[in-house]
Amino acid sequence: MQEEEPPKLKLYLWRKDLLTLIKHGVQALHRALEVLKIDIIPYDRERASQLDISASVEVALQAITINNLYIGDLATKLEASSEMIAAKDRQLKEKDKVIENDVAKYETKDRQLKEKDKVIENDVAKYERDTSTLRSALD
């Protein structure tokens, strides 16, 4: 039995409604970037000309340049942030391994000390029995 695909939704928007929708999305993105403390770098026409970008590509770049946010720089910053997070994660995992090893050492030492305590308790019990036997023999 095949699953039926849901009908595709078509959304018709007036240009101004689409622009409003994009504006609200951009504002949400802008707030998220501020929360994440990602620098917002203005789009630079000079940079585009240095890269020898044709006019149509420059227009496309301007279209994806939202609220003075250059998408390429954002991607670079996000990539750098993810690399920093991955490096920090590796460091924490290494520290976790060290801690686990230390815990294992302490648990081993604790077992050894408990075994020694049992030996001492047995020796004390034997000493008390011997003392009791000697006292009863002397009486």
Q: Which residue has the higher pLDDT, 64 or 133?
A: 133
Going 120 to 125 to 126 to 130, the CA torsion angle's sign is positive
pTM of the model: 0.38
CA dist., res. 84 & res. 44, Å (int): 27
pLDDT category, 46, cuts 50, 70, 90? low
Q: Is the pLDDT of residue 6 over 90?
A: no
Q: How far is CA 39 from CA 25, 31, 62, 70, in A?
A: 18, 12, 19, 10
Joined tokens for residue 109: 């030492």
**Domain residue ranges in the chain:** 13-69
Joined tokens for residue 54: 């044709």
pLDDT tens column, 71-115: 556 666 667 777 888 888 889 899 999 999 999 999 999 999 999
CA dist., res. 66 & res. 29, Å (int): 10
Q: Is the pLDDT of residue 60 over 60?
A: no
Q: Is the pLDDT of residue 40 over 60?
A: no
What pLDDT shows up at residue 27? 72
What pLDDT shows up at residue 15? 66
Could you tell me what percent of the chain has a pLDDT over 90? 27
CA dist., res. 132 & res. 138, Å (int): 10
In this structure, how many other beta carbons lie within 10 angstroms of the beta carbon of residue 97? 10
